[in-house]
Structure 1
Protein backbone atom coordinates (compact mmCIF):
# COMPACT_ATOMS: atom_id res chain seq x y z
CA UNK A 1 0.00 0.00 0.00
CA UNK A 2 1.30 3.47 -0.89
CA UNK A 3 2.06 5.92 1.90
CA UNK A 4 -0.23 8.84 2.59
CA UNK A 5 1.00 12.21 1.33
CA UNK A 6 -0.11 15.51 2.85
CA UNK A 7 0.88 18.50 0.71
CA UNK A 8 0.47 22.07 1.93
CA UNK A 9 0.61 24.84 -0.70
CA UNK A 10 1.12 28.20 1.02
CA UNK A 11 1.09 30.39 -2.09
CA UNK A 12 -0.90 31.08 -5.22
CA UNK A 13 -0.40 33.39 -8.17
CA UNK A 14 2.13 35.29 -6.03
CA UNK A 15 4.59 32.36 -6.43
CA UNK A 16 3.43 30.37 -9.47
CA UNK A 17 6.37 27.96 -9.72
CA UNK A 18 6.17 26.95 -6.06
CA UNK A 19 2.38 26.60 -6.17
CA UNK A 20 2.46 24.57 -9.37
CA UNK A 21 5.16 22.31 -7.95
CA UNK A 22 3.00 21.47 -4.94
CA UNK A 23 0.00 20.70 -7.15
CA UNK A 24 2.17 18.64 -9.53
CA UNK A 25 3.59 16.53 -6.70
CA UNK A 26 0.12 16.00 -5.19
CA UNK A 27 -1.45 15.04 -8.53
CA UNK A 28 1.43 12.72 -9.42
CA UNK A 29 1.25 10.98 -6.06
CA UNK A 30 -2.53 10.59 -6.35
CA UNK A 31 -2.20 9.16 -9.86
CA UNK A 32 0.36 6.65 -8.56
CA UNK A 33 -2.10 5.37 -5.98
CA UNK A 34 -1.03 7.27 -2.87
CA UNK A 35 -3.67 8.68 -0.57
CA UNK A 36 -3.25 12.44 -1.06
CA UNK A 37 -4.51 15.34 1.00
CA UNK A 38 -3.81 18.78 -0.49
CA UNK A 39 -4.05 21.75 1.89
CA UNK A 40 -4.33 25.29 0.52
CA UNK A 41 -3.22 28.04 2.89
CA UNK A 42 -2.41 31.73 2.60
CA UNK A 43 -2.82 32.99 -0.95
CA UNK A 44 -3.19 29.37 -2.04
CA UNK A 45 -6.72 29.42 -0.59
CA UNK A 46 -7.87 31.40 -3.63
CA UNK A 47 -6.98 28.48 -5.92
CA UNK A 48 -10.00 26.52 -4.61
CA UNK A 49 -12.42 29.23 -5.77
CA UNK A 50 -13.97 28.49 -9.20
CA UNK A 51 -11.95 30.06 -12.01
CA UNK A 52 -9.04 31.16 -9.83
CA UNK A 53 -6.73 28.21 -10.57
CA UNK A 54 -6.84 29.19 -14.26
CA UNK A 55 -5.26 32.53 -13.32
CA UNK A 56 -2.02 30.74 -12.47
CA UNK A 57 -0.28 30.31 -15.80
CA UNK A 58 3.18 28.79 -15.92
CA UNK A 59 4.95 27.99 -19.20
CA UNK A 60 5.78 24.31 -19.75
CA UNK A 61 3.65 23.24 -16.74
CA UNK A 62 0.45 21.23 -16.65
CA UNK A 63 -2.42 23.72 -16.27
CA UNK A 64 -3.37 24.11 -12.62
CA UNK A 65 -7.09 23.45 -13.22
CA UNK A 66 -6.17 20.02 -14.65
CA UNK A 67 -3.97 19.19 -11.66
CA UNK A 68 -6.65 20.37 -9.24
CA UNK A 69 -9.33 18.28 -10.96
CA UNK A 70 -7.12 15.21 -10.72
CA UNK A 71 -6.46 15.75 -7.02
CA UNK A 72 -10.16 16.30 -6.32
CA UNK A 73 -10.99 13.07 -8.15
CA UNK A 74 -8.34 10.91 -6.51
CA UNK A 75 -7.68 12.61 -3.16
CA UNK A 76 -8.91 15.47 -1.03
CA UNK A 77 -8.50 19.25 -1.04
CA UNK A 78 -8.82 21.39 2.07
CA UNK A 79 -8.65 25.15 2.57
CA UNK A 80 -7.29 26.40 5.89
CA UNK A 81 -10.14 27.78 8.01
CA UNK A 82 -8.26 30.87 9.21
CA UNK A 83 -6.97 31.60 5.71
CA UNK A 84 -10.49 31.29 4.30
CA UNK A 85 -11.94 33.55 7.01
CA UNK A 86 -9.28 36.24 6.44
CA UNK A 87 -10.20 36.26 2.75
CA UNK A 88 -13.94 36.02 3.41
CA UNK A 89 -14.11 32.71 1.55
CA UNK A 90 -16.91 30.38 2.65
CA UNK A 91 -17.78 26.79 1.76
CA UNK A 92 -20.27 28.07 -0.84
CA UNK A 93 -17.44 29.96 -2.60
CA UNK A 94 -15.34 26.84 -3.18
CA UNK A 95 -15.22 24.23 -5.90
CA UNK A 96 -17.40 21.21 -5.28
CA UNK A 97 -15.59 18.70 -3.08
CA UNK A 98 -13.28 21.19 -1.35
CA UNK A 99 -13.67 21.49 2.41
CA UNK A 100 -12.58 24.04 4.99
CA UNK A 101 -10.79 22.77 8.09
CA UNK A 102 -8.32 24.00 10.69
CA UNK A 103 -4.95 23.19 12.16
CA UNK A 104 -6.14 20.29 14.33
CA UNK A 105 -7.21 18.35 11.20
CA UNK A 106 -3.95 19.19 9.40
CA UNK A 107 -1.88 18.04 12.37
CA UNK A 108 -3.91 14.83 12.63
CA UNK A 109 -3.31 14.05 8.95
CA UNK A 110 0.37 15.04 8.97
CA UNK A 111 1.17 12.98 12.06
CA UNK A 112 -0.75 9.88 11.00
CA UNK A 113 1.36 6.71 11.02
CA UNK A 114 3.13 6.38 7.66
CA UNK A 115 2.18 9.85 6.41
CA UNK A 116 4.64 12.17 4.70
CA UNK A 117 4.01 15.92 4.81
CA UNK A 118 5.48 18.39 2.32
CA UNK A 119 5.11 22.17 2.36
CA UNK A 120 5.43 24.41 -0.68
Structure 2
Protein backbone atom coordinates (compact mmCIF):
# COMPACT_ATOMS: atom_id res chain seq x y z
CA UNK A 1 0.00 0.00 0.00
CA UNK A 2 1.32 3.44 -0.90
CA UNK A 3 1.68 6.15 1.69
CA UNK A 4 -0.80 8.98 1.69
CA UNK A 5 -0.11 12.64 2.36
CA UNK A 6 -2.12 14.98 4.57
CA UNK A 7 -1.17 18.63 4.15
CA UNK A 8 -2.43 21.35 6.47
CA UNK A 9 -1.96 24.83 5.06
CA UNK A 10 -2.32 27.60 7.64
CA UNK A 11 -1.01 30.47 5.52
CA UNK A 12 -2.78 32.54 2.91
CA UNK A 13 -1.98 35.89 1.38
CA UNK A 14 -0.26 36.76 4.67
CA UNK A 15 2.58 34.30 3.84
CA UNK A 16 2.30 33.72 0.09
CA UNK A 17 5.39 31.57 -0.42
CA UNK A 18 4.47 29.18 2.38
CA UNK A 19 0.90 29.00 1.10
CA UNK A 20 1.94 28.32 -2.47
CA UNK A 21 4.45 25.70 -1.35
CA UNK A 22 1.69 23.68 0.33
CA UNK A 23 -0.46 23.67 -2.80
CA UNK A 24 2.55 22.91 -5.02
CA UNK A 25 3.58 19.94 -2.88
CA UNK A 26 -0.01 18.66 -2.88
CA UNK A 27 -0.22 18.74 -6.68
CA UNK A 28 3.25 17.25 -7.11
CA UNK A 29 2.26 14.39 -4.82
CA UNK A 30 -0.95 13.79 -6.78
CA UNK A 31 1.01 13.78 -10.04
CA UNK A 32 3.26 11.13 -8.48
CA UNK A 33 0.30 8.92 -7.65
CA UNK A 34 0.16 9.75 -3.93
CA UNK A 35 -3.22 10.05 -2.22
CA UNK A 36 -3.57 13.65 -0.95
CA UNK A 37 -5.80 15.32 1.61
CA UNK A 38 -5.38 19.11 1.81
CA UNK A 39 -6.67 20.94 4.88
CA UNK A 40 -7.38 24.67 4.66
CA UNK A 41 -6.94 26.37 8.02
CA UNK A 42 -6.21 29.87 9.29
CA UNK A 43 -5.86 32.39 6.48
CA UNK A 44 -5.90 29.60 3.88
CA UNK A 45 -9.57 29.11 4.79
CA UNK A 46 -10.52 31.88 2.38
CA UNK A 47 -9.44 29.72 -0.57
CA UNK A 48 -12.47 27.49 0.06
CA UNK A 49 -14.61 30.28 -1.39
CA UNK A 50 -15.19 30.69 -5.12
CA UNK A 51 -12.83 33.10 -6.91
CA UNK A 52 -10.59 33.69 -3.85
CA UNK A 53 -7.73 31.55 -5.17
CA UNK A 54 -7.82 33.57 -8.42
CA UNK A 55 -7.01 36.69 -6.40
CA UNK A 56 -3.80 35.14 -5.05
CA UNK A 57 -0.67 36.17 -6.92
CA UNK A 58 2.90 35.03 -6.39
CA UNK A 59 5.50 35.77 -9.07
CA UNK A 60 7.08 32.72 -10.71
CA UNK A 61 4.50 30.38 -9.15
CA UNK A 62 1.72 28.36 -10.71
CA UNK A 63 -1.67 30.05 -10.30
CA UNK A 64 -3.18 28.99 -7.00
CA UNK A 65 -6.60 28.49 -8.60
CA UNK A 66 -5.09 25.91 -10.97
CA UNK A 67 -3.36 24.12 -8.10
CA UNK A 68 -6.58 24.04 -6.07
CA UNK A 69 -8.50 22.70 -9.06
CA UNK A 70 -5.93 19.92 -9.43
CA UNK A 71 -6.23 18.92 -5.79
CA UNK A 72 -10.02 18.96 -6.02
CA UNK A 73 -9.87 16.76 -9.10
CA UNK A 74 -7.51 14.18 -7.66
CA UNK A 75 -7.57 14.46 -3.89
CA UNK A 76 -9.67 15.77 -1.04
CA UNK A 77 -9.93 19.33 0.28
CA UNK A 78 -11.24 20.08 3.75
CA UNK A 79 -11.95 23.38 5.48
CA UNK A 80 -11.41 23.44 9.23
CA UNK A 81 -14.68 23.73 11.18
CA UNK A 82 -13.45 26.33 13.66
CA UNK A 83 -11.65 28.34 10.97
CA UNK A 84 -14.83 28.44 8.90
CA UNK A 85 -16.91 29.53 11.90
CA UNK A 86 -14.47 32.31 12.82
CA UNK A 87 -14.81 33.65 9.26
CA UNK A 88 -18.58 33.13 9.02
CA UNK A 89 -18.06 30.66 6.17
CA UNK A 90 -20.80 28.06 5.79
CA UNK A 91 -21.08 24.94 3.67
CA UNK A 92 -23.31 26.89 1.27
CA UNK A 93 -20.42 29.30 0.58
CA UNK A 94 -17.88 26.67 -0.44
CA UNK A 95 -16.49 25.63 -3.78
CA UNK A 96 -18.16 22.39 -4.81
CA UNK A 97 -16.17 19.41 -3.56
CA UNK A 98 -14.77 21.05 -0.43
CA UNK A 99 -16.04 19.73 2.87
CA UNK A 100 -15.99 21.19 6.39
CA UNK A 101 -14.61 18.96 9.15
CA UNK A 102 -12.90 19.39 12.48
CA UNK A 103 -10.03 18.18 14.58
CA UNK A 104 -11.37 14.63 15.07
CA UNK A 105 -11.40 14.06 11.30
CA UNK A 106 -7.91 15.55 10.97
CA UNK A 107 -6.54 13.34 13.73
CA UNK A 108 -8.18 10.29 12.20
CA UNK A 109 -6.44 11.02 8.89
CA UNK A 110 -2.97 11.76 10.25
CA UNK A 111 -2.70 8.78 12.60
CA UNK A 112 -3.57 6.31 9.87
CA UNK A 113 -1.05 3.70 8.82
CA UNK A 114 1.33 4.83 6.08
CA UNK A 115 0.33 8.49 6.36
CA UNK A 116 2.73 11.42 6.19
CA UNK A 117 1.47 14.76 7.53
CA UNK A 118 2.94 18.14 6.62
CA UNK A 119 1.99 21.54 8.01
CA UNK A 120 2.70 24.77 6.17
TM range (shorter): over 0.9
- TM-score w.r.t. the length of structure 2 is 0.98
Which residue is equivalent to 1:77?
77
How many matched pairs? 120
Q: Give the root-mean-square deviation of aligned CA atoms.
A: 0.7
The equivalences for 1:25-40 within 5 A come to 25-40=25-40
In structure 2, the partner of 1:67 is 67
The Cα shift of 1:3 comes to 1.0
Q: Which residue of 1 aligns with 2:42?
A: 42
Match of 1:118 in 2: 118
Check conservation: 1:84, 1:90, Cα contact below 8 A.
Answer: yes
Q: Output one character per residue of 1:30-53: Cα deviation in whole Å (capped at 9) or x when no partner.
A: 111111000000111001100101
Structure 2 unaligned spans of 5+: none
CA deviations over 1:84-111 (Å, ceiling 9, x no partner): 0000001111100000000000001011
Q: Name the counterpart of 1:6.
A: 6
On the 8 A contact 2:2/2:114 being kept in 1, the answer is no
Gaps in structure 1 of 5+ consecutive residues: none
Aligned-partner Cα distance in 2 for 1:68–1:117: 18
Cα deviations by residue, 1:51-98 (Å, 9 ceiling, x for unpaired): 101121001100000000000000000000000000000111110000
CA contact (8 A) 1:13 1:55 kept: no
Question: Using the alignment, how far apart are the partners of 2:37 and 2:31 within structure 1?
Answer: 13
Moved over 2 A (4+): none
Length-normalised TM-score, structure 1: 0.98
Instruction: Give the structure 1 partner of residue 18 of structure 2.
Output: 18
